[in-house]
Every structure is written in structure tokens, then in C-alpha cells.
Structure 1
Amino acid sequence: MNDVQFALLTLGFIVIIIMIIHNWAQLKKHQKKTQKLTTSSAPTLDDDNDPLFQSSEFKIKETISHPNSQPEPSGSERIIEANLPEDINRATEAVASIVTKTIQNGKANIFLEDLTNLSGVTVYVRKDNEIWSTGEALDDAIRFNQVLVVQPLTSRKGALSEESIALLNAYVTKINEAVEGNLFWIANSNIQEESNLLNEFREAVDKALILKVTPKSDSSFHAAALADFFNKPKIVNRKLIHELVDAENSNIIICQLLSLSGKPLQINQESYIQGIVFRMDIPNTPNITHSFNQMISLIKECTKKLNGVLVDAGSKKIDDDYISRVYVHLKKVEQKMLTKKIIPGSDIALKIFS
């Protein structure tokens, strides 16, 4: 072996040694990084450190006002909207308008007694540009030349039946003939088709969120700790049912707190409670995702003070990842409702989800 060959062999050996040392150093660095990530505690999901728990209001507003999905109403549409009662939603109700030829006196020609056979139907009347009257305001002293007959297209009973639609059409025709008026359907004249479509939407979003807290080790919660937990201003007892109310508005109900059997809880020093059910009526809860955060906050406080564990309806333990996925689902439900111009927890939502 000459000097050149020996030099090349030595150089190759040195390169191999350097590569081995470099790879070993990189491996040790990777192991330290992995160990650090493994031993560090997982962050708690909340409004501050999880991007999924940020306010959805801005995105929802963008969805509603997007020119491709929600075009600006025409001039005639704006006029119609401006002249309707505020609690009418043409996206979710069939609306018949009757304009009479002469001023009508009293309620005889609107046949209010027939409403007993028409589930959910509401009648409004007014004279010229006066305020619309309905309900108890429809008496023998009323004077009017405009009539609105309003029928919600769906409810938790399902889509409107052919019989219900036939009764509605007969009622509208009866009024129109009695007042010798001009009949025009302002919204959803094809009642059966629109009712079926809206009912499909209702079924897709009409869910109840049920979470449970059960004792971690004992057979029941300790009565003293239980009484202390329920002694909070945000937990109110209405008609024997405990409810979590919104932190800023006590008139907003976020969820009910029930026994495992779904019955009201009896909280006293002798209580034997084996679990607490937190039930949210999703479409009838205002500001769904914000309310969900308050519900989860109370549940975490419950698990801490009562030494409990959070489980789903099937008694499977729930972690923060599960909570995050539930939040994402609720955000989608909220956006679907707002896109339909149905505000969660509103009177219009209550008409559909009741």
C-alpha cells in the first residue's frame, strides 16, 4: 500500500467516525426533546389557550353577510319585511296576507274559534299602517283592513301533515271570502315542500347535549359537599328543577342539572346522589358555544369539589380532546341556525324546536 492509498483510507475512516458522532449527537438531542414533551403536562382547554374555544361571532357574521350566500334583499323585499310583525320569520313560516276591500269591524270574520284545530297558527290584523294586533288584542272592538295568517312549517312533532295543510288553506280561504279580500302568500306558498325541507334541517340540529358527573370512588356524593356546590347564585331552582343560568343574564338558561334518572335533584343534608346529569337543549340555548363554555366550567368545578369524574351519556370518561370536538360540533350547529336566520334561544327557535 503506497502513501496515497494510505492517506485516502485514513481520510475515509475519519469521515465515517465524524458521521457516527454526528448521528449519535442528533439522536440524543431528539430523545431529550421527546422526553420533555412526554413528561410535560397537557394544557387545559379553555378560552385562552385553545384556538377552538375562540369566539365564533365574527365568523358567523361573515357567513351571514357573505354576498354569495346571503344576497342583499331587493327593495320590495325590504318593504315587505318592514311591514311585518317583528316575530314573523319568512324563512321558517308560511305567511298568507289578505287585504280587505272595506274596513272590518270586530273579530267575527277572522273565525278565531277555528284556531283550536290549527296547531301553531297565529292571526294578526291591523288598519292601514297601525301596529299589528294579535292574541288577546283581537276582540269585538278591533278595526282592520289587513290580515296575516302565519303557520310554522315544522316543530318537534315533525313536518306539517297533508291534513294540517288542507285545514290551513281552508281557513285562509274562509277568511278571504268573508272579508271579500285579495289573498297573497308572502312566504312559502308551497307549504308541503317547504315544510319537509325545513324539517330535515330541524332534525339535523335538534339535539340535546347530555354530560354526567359521577363519584370517582364512592357510591354517592357527600351530602355536605353537594349542598355547598349547589349553593351558588348561578344555580337556581325553578319549579323544583336546578338550572345553570348565564353569568350576565339570569333569564338565560344554559342547562338543567338532573338526577341520573332525569328527575329533579333533591339537595339536602340527607341527599343520596349517585350522579348529576347536565342537559343542554342546544337549539333553544342562546349563544350556544359561549353557553357551552360556562357549562363546562361548572362541570369542572363539580368534578373538583365533589371528587367526581366527567362521563358521556354512555358512562365513558371524557377528556379535553372530547370536549374540544363537542365545541366544534356546537359551533357548526350555531352557524347552520344563523345562516337560516334562526337565532338560537329566540322565540322563532322556540316555535320550531318545541
Structure 2
Amino acid sequence: MAISDLQMGLVGAGGVVVVGIFAFNKWQERKHRKQMDALDNVQPLGGEASSRPASADRLEPVIGGEAPARPQPSAQDVKDASARRVPPLLPVDVDERADWVVRIEAIEPVVGGRLWQAATEQLDGLAKPLRWFGFSDTDNRWELVGANTAASYHWVCAALQLVDRRGPASDGDLTRLGAGLQRMCDLFMAIPSLPAKADALTRAADLDRLCAGVDIQIGVNVVARDQGFAGTKLRGLAEAAGLELMSDGSFHARDELGVSQFVLSNLEPVLFAAEEMRGLVTQGVTLTLDVPRVADGVRVFERMMGVAQQLADALGGAVVDDNRSPFGDKAVGLIRAQIEQFQGQMAEQGIAPGSPLALRLFS
């Protein structure tokens, strides 16, 4: 007898329902197991360990005869299940001193881009930067997840930065993140493992105090003596010294990785722009070194002072501080000592000046 299109459609729909129920049951089972595991770690009031067996499989009652033997999983099944249950180590550029890290286990693989989009909708309004990573079972490594990520993952982690130049993360930030992640995970039948908020807030406050104590910038000015500096000549000198005019309206001295070492900006409240440099005249420029964001700060400072003096000599200006006092050898020596002191304090705390972690904390 021929099967009608309607019958075939019903069969297909039934298959989809079965798959959905199966995945939902797996999700519920995994959530229940995590809850029971948490209970296993709670000690009774008397201080004795729980008498419940650590692994008590549920056995269904059997009427007449012996219970059927459980099917034995293959070695590959065991390996795959184990890989999904055991959280991989954190990504190398995540630091639990500076990040509140939430591991997320998905029952079925989740497309990274879909998860990122859902997270963006659920977590709108976070005050601190949030990064997403997915663990590639194929390459055995973490990958940065963004809006266009097409790969799918069983393990995902969200890393909220706890400290930046605006201060430490608040209890409200962590609460908002936790609630938003739970809503997002419910959409994908995933299970988040939220770390303790109190510990993270304490770490954030301690780290913020450390960062505040070493967060200094060194600035020197080159001011005109008689006539203002012509924009065309100023640009030529800056570019000859290896500086590049960027979209923020300042010239940047950058290292081989493109990270700014120091910045040359207009002393007057006008940004530099390539198309306007020809007609620009300014009474001075400022060179600024952001100490925590550069490696070997003394070397960078000396290069910056060299550029400042070159500009002063070529433009008929003078190198002065914010009080318009000339820079002498004594002032330069004090600044060198300060840079060494503050960068040494950072290194002692495991935050290398100019490192990716430092660039995140001092942003």
C-alpha cells in the first residue's frame, strides 16, 4: 500500500519530536546529576561523610526473572562522553585573577555565532568587557567566538573582565551576567557553572588597588618660543621619527606588533587630521607615555625624549613640563626612577608591563 505524503510528513514530524524529547531528557538528566554531585560535597551537620553511595545507579523493578543486562558502551562512546564531561583547561589568554570565568556545557553542540548572538541579546548593558571562547574537540584548543563563528562546541566559556581603568566590577555586573547566562543556556539546553561571586569581587577590589597604585602617564610638552609650529613641517618631522597619524587625531610611535609606545598630540584642543595639516598652526605639542602599557618603559621614555628634543630643535621650540619648566637632567633622572619602580611593582605581581593582560587592565 502506498504511503501518502501526509503519512510521510507525520512520520518525519514524529522523528523530530523524538529527537527533541531525547535531547531535552539528556539536558534534564545532566542538570540533575550536577545537582546531586553538589549535594555529595555537602557534609552532614555531624561532620560525617554522607552514607549515600557515590555512584548508585537507578535499577528498575523487574517482574519475574532477572533484570536485563545493561548494554556495554564502546571505547569511543566512553571517550566522547568523558571529553564532554571534563572541562578543558582555560584559554591561555584568560586569567582568573582578572576575569570571572563561567564554563558552559552544552548537551548538543552549539553553533558559536548563534550562541554569541543570543548572549548579546540577553546580556545587554554589561559594564565590563566580555569575551567568549569555544573548545574545538578536533583541534583540542580554545577558539575565540564571535558573531560569525560557524563552528559548534560542547564546551564554551564566558570571561568577564573584572578590572579596567573605570574601576572594579560590581556585584550588579556579576549578577546581571549570571542571570543572563542562565536565560541563554536555557535556550540551548546548556548548563553554566557559575563561580562564587564573593571571591571574584574580593579579587577585583584587590587588583584594582594594585592597578591604581602603578597607573601613571608621563607627559612632556614642546612649545613654540616665537612663531607657532606649521602643520606641514610638524607632520614631516613626526613621520621621519617613525610616528604615524592615526584616526584618533594623534601621531603614534608603535612597536612591531602595532602597540602604541607613546603618542604625540596637539597641545591645543584641535585634533590632527591629514587633510588639515597643511593649513594648521599650533603653539605646541604633547608627547605622552602610558607606563603600564609598554614593556621596557625606560627605553621608551628615552626615545620619546629624543623625539621631543628633535622637534624642539627643528621647530624652534622648547621641551617643558606641564608647569612650563624646562626639563633638566635631574627631572629626567627622577622620571626614569619612577618608571623602574612602578613597572617593577607590576612585574612582582605577575603583570608584565605591556603584556596582553596589562593592556586589558589599563584600558
Paired residue type of 1:199: D
* Structure 2 residue 106 is the aligned partner of structure 1 residue 97: no
Superposed displacement of residue 234, structure 1:
0.4
Looking at structure 2, the residues matched to 274 and 144 of structure 1 have their Cα atoms a distance apart, in angstroms, of 57
Deviation readout 1:129-165 (Å, 9 max, x if unpaired): 73323332675x5432222121111112221122112
For the residue of structure 2 that corresponds to 1:132, the secondary structure is strand
Paired residue type of 1:235: L
Deviation readout 1:283-305 (Å, 9 max, x if unpaired): 23343222112111111222222
TM-score calculated relative to the size of structure 2:
0.63
- Is residue 100–residue 160 contact of structure 2 (8 Å, CA) maintained in 1? yes
For the residue of structure 2 that corresponds to 1:198, the secondary structure is helix
For the residue of structure 2 that corresponds to 1:94, the secondary structure is strand
Alignment of 1:141-156 (within 5 A): 142-156=151-165
* Structure 2 residue 168 is the aligned partner of structure 1 residue 162: no
For the residue of structure 1 that corresponds to 2:342, the secondary structure is helix
Q: 1:258 aligns with which of 265, 278, 287?
A: 265
Determine which structure has greater relative contact order: mean sequence separation of CA pairs < 8 Å that are 6+ residues apart, divided by chain length.
1
Looking at structure 2, the residues matched to 224 and 145 of structure 1 have their Cα atoms a distance apart, in angstroms, of 57
Looking at structure 2, the residues matched to 302 and 287 of structure 1 have their Cα atoms a distance apart, in angstroms, of 23
- Is residue 267–residue 284 contact of structure 2 (8 Å, CA) maintained in 1? yes
**5+ residue gaps in structure 1?**
1-79
Superposed displacement of residue 271, structure 1:
4.1
Alignment of 1:143-292 (within 5 A): 143-174=152-183, 179=189, 181=191, 183=193, 185=195, 190-216=199-225, 218-221=226-229, 226=234, 229-232=237-240, 234-239=242-247, 241-246=249-254, 249=256, 251-265=258-272, 271-292=280-301
Looking at structure 2, the residues matched to 81 and 254 of structure 1 have their Cα atoms a distance apart, in angstroms, of 38
| Residue in structure 1 matched with residue 93 of structure 2 by the alignment | 87
Paired residue type of 2:144: T
TM-score calculated relative to the size of structure 1:
0.64
Taking a change above 3 Å as real, the CA distance of residues 123 and 229 of structure 1, as seen in their structure-2 partners, is closer
| Residue in structure 1 matched with residue 143 of structure 2 by the alignment | 133
- Is residue 235–residue 242 contact of structure 1 (8 Å, CA) maintained in 2? no
Superposed displacement of residue 204, structure 1:
1.9
- Is residue 91–residue 340 contact of structure 1 (8 Å, CA) maintained in 2? no
Paired residue type of 1:91: R
**5+ residue gaps in structure 2?**
1-85
| Residue in structure 2 matched with residue 116 of structure 1 by the alignment | 124
Superposed displacement of residue 326, structure 1:
0.8
Taking a change above 3 Å as real, the CA distance of residues 272 and 127 of structure 1, as seen in their structure-2 partners, is closer
Superposed displacement of residue 223, structure 1:
6.9
For the residue of structure 2 that corresponds to 1:295, the secondary structure is helix
In our comparison, the structure showing a higher alpha carbon Rg is 1
Looking at structure 2, the residues matched to 149 and 310 of structure 1 have their Cα atoms a distance apart, in angstroms, of 47
- Is residue 163–residue 361 contact of structure 2 (8 Å, CA) maintained in 1? yes
Looking at structure 1, the residues matched to 183 and 202 of structure 2 have their Cα atoms a distance apart, in angstroms, of 23
- Is residue 122–residue 184 contact of structure 2 (8 Å, CA) maintained in 1? no
Deviation readout 1:236-291 (Å, 9 max, x if unpaired): 22227342425x63723222212222533468565432111112233233432221
Give the CA RMSD over aligned residues.
3.4
Q: 1:323 aligns with which of 321, 332, 336?
A: 332
Superposed displacement of residue 232, structure 1:
0.5
Superposed displacement of residue 340, structure 1:
3.3
Q: How many residues align?
A: 270
- Is residue 292–residue 362 contact of structure 2 (8 Å, CA) maintained in 1? yes
Looking at structure 2, the residues matched to 204 and 87 of structure 1 have their Cα atoms a distance apart, in angstroms, of 24
For the residue of structure 2 that corresponds to 1:201, the secondary structure is helix
Superposed displacement of residue 322, structure 1:
0.6
| Residue in structure 2 matched with residue 37 of structure 1 by the alignment | none
Identity %: 18
Looking at structure 2, the residues matched to 127 and 222 of structure 1 have their Cα atoms a distance apart, in angstroms, of 55
State which drifts further: 190-199 or 301-310: 301-310
| Residue in structure 2 matched with residue 342 of structure 1 by the alignment | 351
